[in-house]
Amino acid sequence: MASESIDHFIKFCTDANIDPSHHRDSVRKYVLAYQRNLERKNAFKVMFGDVFINWEYTDRGLPRMDAAHWINVLKYFDFSSVEVQPKSILCSIQHRLKTLGLNADPNFACRVFLLTNMNFIASQLGLERLFCEYEIPDAYNKSLRFFALGADTAFDVLLTTGMFCLIMDECKVDEAEVEKQIQFLKLREEELSNSFKVKQIRAMNGRPRLRSKLADVKRDINSVEVCVIFLLRICIFLTFCTGHGRLRQVGPGGEVSERLFHAHQAPSLFSDGADACAGADQSRSSDYHGLVCV
Amino acid sequence: MPEPINHVHRITTDSYVCNTLRSADVKKPDVDVLCKVISSLRIVDEPFKELHDFRAECTGAFPMSQLGIMKLNDILHMYVCAYQNPLVWKEVWKRIAPMLSHQVIRDVETFIAKNPFNFEAVLNIFNK
């Protein structure tokens, strides 16, 4: 799940034209792009100066992410060092959490602040999910009571923007862990790509086609033919050496007839025999059934 | 139009490579390699003027549905594709961009005829 969140983060960096090599800045930009109830462009300018980000994409093309994704992304942040100023929004959140008997340290309060201002998710559902992650019993009712306690709190976009900038400025990002996850994803992608290539090669070359099989069979037959012809040649050669030989012919009924021949008859016999062998292999049936030089 | 060879020193300072490239005459560029390099380009700065012009002049023939999902990086890829060797640019374009029609070809050819390639900006992206 952690790597899945980072996967989305990398995709965001690509699409929003952010340099992903500076992890702290990139992750903060990612969170900012998804915030609502604040002036994002002003906050971006305060935090990062005149650095480029594709606002066209962040305004219109952002994919919807659920609460679980953001809870995972916020795990890379450490908000312990964020200073809580009196009468600030964070102070109000801490007060409400204390009233509910929950953990009210800045680390948790900042997560509540960011998650309740996250775009594309309902604040109550996000908060309920966060309580569930922290194993807080009766998460649904507690999340409802949290918002009920803040119903009469004044809402100011500028205050929220200021609070966000302060939190993002003072928080720490676990860059080593982010880098580790990115490397893990790269390795996994390379592995998948290699495996796909191997599968593609197998699909293209691994399965023999019928015509290839037939070509192989034909080649085998030809090699047998060549052997037979070669043996016949040796027999004829030996006949030349001895001066005469006997030819045994097997008829259709299995009857065997032998005839004696002399050396000067051998070339014609050789050609007959070779033709006969080739004819037998090619299934050109005739009255010829076998020929043996003895 | 500026010669591409004049900008090689921004990618490598190896004199052997520079001299070889100076005398090399690539007749048939490797489309696979071109696609791989072009697809890896990512813009992380303010887009240069030519990219805006290219978007305005060469994407008119694209359907609205495709324009809606097209990102800045996609436009950059198409811009670099358009300036590839005339023998292969359509092949590279087809692999990278979602469509290639007669109108797109006309738009692109008109654009590259009147706008020189912005080596400076694209090489900056290369070196990021």
In a domain, A252, yes or no: yes
What integer pLDDT is reported at residue A158 of this predicted model? 94
In a domain, A68, yes or no: yes
Whether residue A10 lies within 8 A of chain B, CB to CB, comes out as no
Q: Are the Cβ atoms of A17 and B128 closer than 8 angstroms? A: no
Share of chain B above pLDDT 70, in %: 98
Whether A75 and A218 share a structural domain: no
Q: What DSSP state is assigned to residue A294?
A: -
Whether residue B128 lies within 8 A of chain A, CB to CB, comes out as yes
Whether A114 and A216 share a structural domain: no
What integer pLDDT is reported at residue A265 of this predicted model? 56
Whether A64 and A103 share a structural domain: yes
Average pLDDT, chain B: 90
From chain A, pick out residues whose CB is under 8 angstroms from the CB of B46.
Answer: 52
Whether A113 and A227 share a structural domain: no
Q: What DSSP state is assigned to residue A118?
A: B
Q: How far is it between the farthest Cα atoms of chain A?
A: 126
Residue of A nearest to B39 (CA): A14
Whether A153 and A8 share a structural domain: yes
Residue A259 is part of which domain span? 211-293
What integer pLDDT is reported at residue A133 of this predicted model? 94
What integer pLDDT is reported at residue A275 of this predicted model? 47
Structurally, chain A folds into a number of domains equal to 2
Chosen for mutation from A10, A14, A50, A51 (greatest number of chain B CBs closer than 10 Å) is A14
Q: Are the Cβ atoms of B44 and A14 closer than 8 angstroms? A: no
In a domain, A204, yes or no: no
Count of CB pairs separated by less than 8 Å, A with B: 24
Outline where A105-174 has alpha helix (H). 106-116, 123-133, 139-149, 157-170
Whether A150 and A11 share a structural domain: yes
The full DSSP string for B16-85 is HHHHHHHH---SS--HHHHHHHHHT----SPPPHHHHHHHHHHSTTS-HHHHHH--HHHHHHHHHHHTS-
Q: pTM for the complete prediction?
A: 0.74
Residue of B nearest to A60 (CA): B68
Six token digits for residue A98:
């204390």
Tens of pLDDT along chain A (294 residues) come to 678 899 999 999 999 999 888 899 999 999 999 999 999 999 999 999 999 999 999 998 899 999 999 999 999 999 999 999 998 999 999 999 999 999 999 999 999 999 999 999 999 999 999 999 999 999 999 999 999 999 888 889 999 999 999 999 999 999 999 999 999 999 999 999 888 888 888 777 766 667 777 777 777 776 666 667 767 777 676 666 665 555 555 555 656 666 665 555 545 544 444 444 444 444 444 444 444 444
What integer pLDDT is reported at residue A165 of this predicted model? 96
Q: Are the Cβ atoms of A17 and B72 closer than 8 angstroms? A: yes
Alpha-carbon distance of A94 to A109, in angstroms, equals 6
Whether residue B43 lies within 8 A of chain A, CB to CB, comes out as yes
Whether A142 and A14 share a structural domain: yes
Whether A159 and A237 share a structural domain: no
Whether A161 and A27 share a structural domain: yes
Which of B44, B69, B73 shows the shortest C-beta gap to A52? B44
In a domain, A203, yes or no: no
Residue of B nearest to A51 (CA): B45
Whether residue A11 lies within 8 A of chain B, CB to CB, comes out as no
β-pair type (A256-262, A244-250)? antiparallel
Residue from A278, A258, A225, A16 nearest B71 by CA: A16
When pLDDT is cut at 50, 70 and 90, the band that residue B11 belongs to is confident
Outline where A49-120 has alpha helix (H). 55-60, 67-74, 89-99, 106-116
Which residue is associated with the tokens 């796909």? A196
Whether A33 and A163 share a structural domain: yes
* Ramachandran sector of residue B118 (left: φ over 0; alpha: ψ -120 to 50; beta: rest): beta
Whether A60 and A132 share a structural domain: yes
Map out the domains of chain B as residue ranges: 29-126
In a domain, A198, yes or no: no
**Cβ atoms of A99 and A192 closer than 8 Å:** no
What is the 3-state secondary structure of B102-126? HHHHHHHHHHHHHCCCCHHHHHHHH
Residues in chain B: 128
How far does the CA of residue A91 sit from the closest CA of chain B (Å)?
37
**Cβ atoms of A20 and A26 closer than 8 Å:** yes
Average pLDDT over residues B77-104: 94
How far does the CA of residue B74 sit from the closest CA of chain A (Å)?
9
For A222, phi then psi, to 5°, come to -60, -40
Whether A45 and A169 share a structural domain: yes
From chain A, pick out residues whose CB is under 8 angstroms from the CB of B128.
Answer: 19
Specify the amino acid at residue A173.
V
Which of B42, B45, B69 shows the shortest C-beta gap to A14? B42
What ipTM does the predicted assembly reach? 0.85
In a domain, A200, yes or no: no
- Of A152, A170, A186, which closes a domain? A186
The full DSSP string for A8-54 is HHHHHHHHTT--TTSHHHHHHHHHHHTB-SS-HHHHHHHHHTT----
In a domain, A201, yes or no: no
From chain A, pick out residues whose CB is under 8 angstroms from the CB of B65.
Answer: none
What integer pLDDT is reported at residue B4 of this predicted model? 81
How far does the CA of residue A60 sit from the closest CA of chain B (Å)?
10
How far does the CA of residue A24 sit from the closest CA of chain B (Å)?
16
Whether residue B42 lies within 8 A of chain A, CB to CB, comes out as yes
In a domain, A195, yes or no: no
Instruction: Report the range of poorest mean pLDDT among A258-272, B32-46, B100-114.
Output: A258-272
Residue from B120, B122, B37, B128 nearest B79 by CA: B122
